[in-house]
Chains A and B, each alone.
Chain A
């Protein structure tokens, strides 16, 4: 079992991507130093019996004793979090989930939609360090919601394509629009994807019959986050369930039912 810490993290920097999308750089030494790609943190938002469960967030980046994550305000927990600012504390459990192992293969396609871009940044940065050829396609509703554009540019991937649904940045359209073309132009060995469920379904469908590895970051209602309760079930292709907090959140899309 990987080491798990319960830590009070202090917000070092708050970044407002849009009114609803917020990023926090948090100082949480133990968690940050042990965090690996593909992992997540689990945050207790308040000491309030109406908010019993922690909220899971993918780790988007790590620098020494600090970690970065991005969230969208979707419910009462994230609404409370959106009111926090520099120097406020967060009760964090982590790092959780199964780390991603750097693949042996050379040519990697990264497909990110919306907030799914966050965990893919931490992954892409590490793949770059491992000298992989990276082909990255990212998309969101509009320019504001297309997070981490500049950060990805700095990684200098072999190819970087942006999409927005309203055409305010990059090409007008959605991430899956480019998949067929990129497979014609480039040799791809492994695909990592994260984004809305509709996008993952599309990616799975398009790549199902290709003899390559396809991994996706999944989401499911979660409770303990540490493999004790079996709440975060994701259906396996042949029956039974994966437990996302333990076996994921990044799973082979070919082994699950979406």
Chain B
């Protein structure tokens, strides 16, 4: 059974991508990465970021809340020291890019534009300092403007990973499409707090964290089913996938691809089993093409 799809000129050998922040920069576990449809790197910013003070994680019921703070070595280091070591990748390399403005994202793209990269994923959950700290992806006009600017500066496909809260995700997804975005990833982690009652202060060193895991899946599925009706660009589903059945739920709701994140933190080999199980399911159900099930369920 073949799970291959060609979308926007990119061939994905299966619909499973490794979500940003949970699989490093692609330098480790080559064998696992090469079995997936692609890896989305940790977010790269123009300047290196040291990240937030520890503790950076807390386990919650049905998920985790993390506050790594986009720690990364910056665009130049990534180009010189990371990209040059990724020649053995046989699957798609998708570079996640963050910044506090569209200009900063473009600066990163101009440094990186390299044939090893299949696409860029814009992390629109970064705060826009000049606009008072609201997230880049929180306001539809800003999203459309950023997408247009970025598209004018690269020929590579652009994926926009949108925030799911403190905005209307439906409007944001539409703005991604209007701005010329090629894919939209739904959704990023949602913001959250943990309070250390003994110390009477926030538990996480970075104070605010991003919640991910099982419980997020159901909100994400709902958003995808809704957004599917109003946009034509392909959707990448993300949130709480832990087995092949979760992947199928996303595909049924209209996602063409999925990103797996939290599971990687528990088991770096976990995606391999999901891909195997997905193939088994497809064979058992005599599926010829993933298109037969993508978006089959409408709400």
Contact = CB atoms under 8 A, between A and B. Distances in A.
A52 interface: yes
Interface in A24-67: 44, 49-54
B24 A228 contact: yes
A221 B54 CA distance: 8
Given A6-B269, A44-B267, A231 B53 contact: no
Interface string A2-13: 001010000000
A223 B21 CA distance: 12
A235 B50 CA distance: 10
Interface string B20-32: 0111100011000
A229 B21 contact: yes
B202 interface: no
Interface string B131-147: 00000000000000000
A interface bracket (residues with beta carbon within 8 Å of B) = 20 to 34
Given A6-B267, A224-B22, A231 B57 contact: yes
Contacts, number: 95
Interface stretch (B61-69, B150-158, B222-230): B61-69
B192 interface: no
B28 A227 contact: yes
Contacts of B264: 224, 228-229
A52 to B, nearest CB: 6
A1 B28 contact: yes
Given A230-B68, A233-B51, A52 B265 contact: yes
A223 B263 CA distance: 10
Given A44-B266, A221-B55, A227-B28, A241 B50 contact: yes
Given A220-B54, A224-B22, A93 B61 contact: no
Contacts of A229: 21-22, 24, 66, 68, 264-265
B171 interface: no
19 contacts: A6-B267, A6-B269, A44-B267, A52-B213, A53-B266, A221-B54, A221-B56, A224-B264, A226-B29, A226-B268, A227-B24, A228-B28, A228-B29, A229-B21, A230-B71, A231-B56, A232-B54, A233-B56, A233-B68
Interface of B: 21-24, 28-29, 42, 50-59, 61-64, 66, 68, 71, 213-214, 242, 262, 264-269
Interface of A: 1, 4, 6, 44, 49-54, 93, 220-224, 226-235, 239-241
